[in-house]
Amino acid sequence: MEKKKIKIGLIGLGTVGTGVYKTLQTFDNIEVAKIAVKNKNKKRNIPNLDENLITDNPYEVVNNPEIDIVCELIGGMEPAYDLITTAIKNGKHIVTANKELLAKRGVEIFNFAEQHNKVILYEAAIAGGIPIIMPIKTILAGNKINKVEAILNGTTNYILTKMDVQSASYDDVLKEAQDLGYAETDPTGDVEGFDAAYKITTLATLAFKKRIKFENVYREGITKVRAEDMKAANDLGYKIKLIASAKMDEKGRADVRVHPMLVPMASTLAHIDYVTNAVSLTGHPIGHITLSGPGAGELPTASSVVGDILAIAAELGTTDYLLPMMRCYHEDLADCVNILDTENKYYLSLNAKNNKGVIGNIGNICAECNISVESIVQKNVLENNTADITVITEICREKDMQNAVRAFEESSFINNVNSLIRVQV
């Protein structure tokens, strides 16, 4: 007797959707039954695509009684939220790559799915082709994970890598990245850290088994990072990366954030370059592990989406409660730390008048703000008789560092605060 094929509905046939469709053609037990697209007339580089599958009405997918699994691959908040909840009401399981929706309305969606005894899988939403969600939920389930540090956005990592190797400005590299298709025409979601913030919100929720509210995640992008900072970091033994991090402090509070960091060259993350992503987890009993690989792209992301589809397909018809380990059970909301209450090490670049006593004055302001200085380096005297001075602090409070920055900005001997970047410790 021929086994019934699992029928899939795709919403979205862009880069990821195309990769998913092509990959699914290699599985005999899977059939793509309907595909919703924005523009039916768009020419697509997909051999032997059956045009009868295509619709520009996504509700033809979620309301189709024959479809078992709906893959939402369009991103954004709406209509994705309504499409997913409608599909769940209609008895369908969900695979999604929608990091923004999960970060902002994940609680509602997962609760809704549980009420209807449906599964939502989302491996592709965090780090493209890198398997991280299922390992945390299964193989690493016996660990108490207390720290996550990750590079979760290929666009920003590409820009920072090119700035480093070419000694180029942010603006020049951004234009190059846009010309090559690595950055969008409007790159805000990537370069201002939104994309990475969406991802670390969900990743921290999984790792800590407590729900993280997106509005409690501190976010800072890479637009202020300069070529001069790259060189200074290299001279000090660091690389600058956009790091998405989450850790539990000694009081059980979650410190979740995205911002540029000086990463020591001895660290694995310092050597994750171009569009590659990586996730480092620290916990007990595993210790420290890092998973790295392609974080975006047609086939790497399709790998994760298809893996989720096959995980659901394997259990359809075998149980009334699919994939219990992959479901969302934690109800507790994490108590999150405000960035001003955190303690960090800092790299500070100042442009100052080339006068006697300036170095001492910098040290005095730091001391008055309860900041100990690890090093102060003056490299060059510029033509206008000013000097760029690099300060590395010891670990100190964020609020004290911000007070020091304000004091430097008001000081008569400091012309400009060029950069303030946190240092990984």
Q: How many CA atoms lie within 13 A of 396 on its CB side?
A: 21
Q: Is the pLDDT of residue 70 over 60?
A: yes
- Residue 172 maps to which CATH number? 3.30.360.10
Q: Do residues 219 and 239 share a domain?
A: yes
What is the pLDDT confidence band of residue 317, given thresholds at 50, 70 and 90? very high
At 1 the pLDDT is: 44
Mean pLDDT across the stretch 240-269?
96
Q: Is residue 332 part of a domain?
A: no
Domain span at residue 355?
339-423
Residue 365's alpha-carbon distances to 127, 372, 386, in angstroms, are 42, 10, 19
Q: Which of 7, 199, 210, 241 is catalytic?
A: 199
Q: Which CATH number covers residue 72?
A: 3.40.50.720
More confident residue, 212 or 43: 212
Same domain? For 113 and 214 the reply is no
Rounded CA-CA distance 69/395 in Å is 50
Number of domains making up the chain: 3
Alpha helix ranges (H) inside 289-397? 298-315, 358-368
Please, what is the Cα angle at 152 between 150 and 156, to 5 degrees?
Answer: 115
Per-residue pLDDT tens digits for 23-42: 999 999 999 999 999 999 88
The answer to the question of residue 1 being in a domain is no
Q: What is the pLDDT of residue 2?
A: 56
Rg of the chain, C-alpha, whole Å: 24
Is 199 assigned a catalytic role? yes
